[in-house]
Amino acid sequence: MLDGCKLPTSAGGTLIIALLCAFCMAIILTSQSTLNVLPGNVFKPSTEIRSSVKKNIVFNPPEPRSFEEAIDYANMMVEQKRRRALIEEACTAANMSRQIDLDHKGSVFKSVGHLLVDDKYKVLFGFIPKVGCTTWKGIIGKLHRKHKNDLAKISTLRNFGDNHTEIYYRLQNYRKVLFVREPITRMLSGYLSKLRNLKNLQRTWEQFIGKSIVKRYRGYNHVERYEDEIIKPWMNITLSEYIQYITDIGSNIHMGELNDHWLPLHVVSNPCQIHYDFIGHYENMAVEGPFVLRWLGVNNLISFPPVHESHASNALIREYSEISLSFLKRISTYYSFDYKAFGYHINETLSILMKGIFDEKEDD
């Protein structure tokens, strides 16, 4: 089965995955109903565009169907304001650049390569691998049968790289949605699905980073060592090795096709430069997913699929209980900006972890 959430830039299988992933938002958004909540901006190219990417546009709420719905809407908007303020605060405290950079080599990909575009509904959807892409794929599956003809329109903002005016225009005038997730749970989820699935994906990832991890931390060359064996044994990279690798190479790497699975959420989504209007929490997807569809005015076309109970905290407890405290510290430091900006608390994660570990012992 297809797994993960890839950019529509790589070849072969990953391209299909990427497109599928990209389809999700695009299909939701390119369907036929009308949406009258967007301000009728007429685009006038101007030199001030760059510096005015900052503001969040105020959108009219959808017509509430009940009093409760109106209350829910109001509460969610308050929460959204709080989440945006957290990002502001974190960006200011860290003195992060506020300007999107499109002028240097590779910077278009880095800045806007993870934004899916829908021109019909004027939406940009920021996607981060291991943050609900599978759920969005479920939506795609449903819509695929309905809107086959719209598939051709899908792209990321990166595809407008040869005309930056087009990029700035969309950043300024479209609604921007992003889902985020507790950082070390997301990292673990990437590790489990890519380096521990004992299938082709694990082969790919062992080629991609496993080789250098084995060389670095086990001190031998896997390929040479098993030269004579037709079917090479798995490298079975451990979570400790993975964490050590991620934190050792740190921020000293360029975002590529696969490392967006572990790079900090903010590196993939650029929240200091891109002013997201809606920041969803993966952990609350069952509520916030359907909310987004309503907010975008496409809920009459598709419904959000049921969100299955997540076993993420079980996996978290199981896997991280094997990790030394110093590695746990390293990885939480590595994601510290994400924790601050997206309103997660490492102390809360640790308390889940500790409770899990010690409760488990009591049961024995």
Ligand X SMILES: *[C@@H]1O[C@H](CO)[C@@H](O)[C@H](O)[C@H]1NC(C)=O
* 234 lies in the site for ligand X, by CB under 6 A: yes
Tell me phi and psi for residue 229, to 5 degrees: -90, 130
Instruction: Provide the minimum distance between the beta carbon of 127 and ligand X in the complex, in angstroms, as a whole number.
Output: 25
Cβ–Cβ < 8 Å for 123, 174: yes
Instruction: Provide the minimum distance between the beta carbon of 196 and ligand X in the complex, in angstroms, as a whole number.
Output: 8
* 46 lies in the site for ligand X, by CB under 6 A: no
Instruction: Provide the minimum distance between the beta carbon of 350 and ligand X in the complex, in angstroms, as a whole number.
Output: 8
Hey, which residues does 123 pair with through a beta bridge? 118, 175
Question: Among 32, 34, 44, 45, which residue interacts with ligand X (rule: CB under 6 A)?
Answer: 45
Q: Which of residues 167-206 bind ligand X (CB under 6 A)?
A: 198
Instruction: Provide the minimum distance between the beta carbon of 205 and ligand X in the complex, in angstroms, as a whole number.
Output: 13
Closest CA to 316 of 264, 360, 265, 267: 360
How many residues bind ligand X (CB under 6 A)? The answer is 13
**Rounded Cα–Cα distance for residues 241 and 216 (Å):** 9
Name which of 139 and 214 has its Cβ closer to ligand X: 214
- Tokens 């990437």 correspond to 190
Q: Per-residue contact track with ligand X, 114 to 153, x per CB under 6 A?
A: ----------------------------------------
Q: What is the largest CA-CA distance in the chain?
A: 71
**Rounded Cα–Cα distance for residues 199 and 234 (Å):** 10
The number of residues making up the chain comes to: 364
Q: What does the block give as tokens for 152?
A: 């051709």
* 163 lies in the site for ligand X, by CB under 6 A: yes
Instruction: Provide the minimum distance between the beta carbon of 242 and ligand X in the complex, in angstroms, as a whole number.
Output: 14
Window contacting ligand X (CB under 6 A); options: 114-122, 129-137, 256-264, 344-352: 344-352
* 326 lies in the site for ligand X, by CB under 6 A: no
Name which of 146 and 345 has its Cβ closer to ligand X: 345
Question: Among 233, 252, 311, 361, which residue interacts with ligand X (rule: CB under 6 A)?
Answer: 233
Long-range contacts of 230-237 (CB under 8 A, 24+ apart): 234/198, 234/202, 234/206, 235/206, 235/210, 235/211, 236/196, 237/195, 237/206, 237/209, 237/210, 237/213
Which residue type, as a one-letter code, is found at position 319? E
Name which of 95 and 326 has its Cβ closer to ligand X: 95
Element spanning 279, H or E: strand 278-281
Name which of 162 and 362 has its Cβ closer to ligand X: 162
* 236 lies in the site for ligand X, by CB under 6 A: yes
Name which of 77 and 86 has its Cβ closer to ligand X: 86
Q: Which of residues 54-113 bind ligand X (CB under 6 A)?
A: 95
Hey, which residues does 175 pair with through a beta bridge? 123
First to last CA, the chain: 37
Instruction: Provide the minimum distance between the beta carbon of 168 and ligand X in the complex, in angstroms, as a whole number.
Output: 10
Window contacting ligand X (CB under 6 A); options: 31-39, 104-112, 160-168, 261-269: 160-168
Instruction: Provide the minimum distance between the beta carbon of 169 and ligand X in the complex, in angstroms, as a whole number.
Output: 7
Q: Alpha helices of the chain — where are they, by DSSP H?
A: 12-29, 67-93, 107-112, 133-146, 164-173, 183-195, 200-205, 211-218, 222-225, 239-249, 265-269, 285-296, 312-320, 325-334, 336-342, 346-363
- Tokens 């049961």 correspond to 363
* 166 lies in the site for ligand X, by CB under 6 A: yes
Binding site for ligand X (CB under 6 A): 45, 95, 163, 165-166, 198, 233-234, 236, 345, 347-348, 351
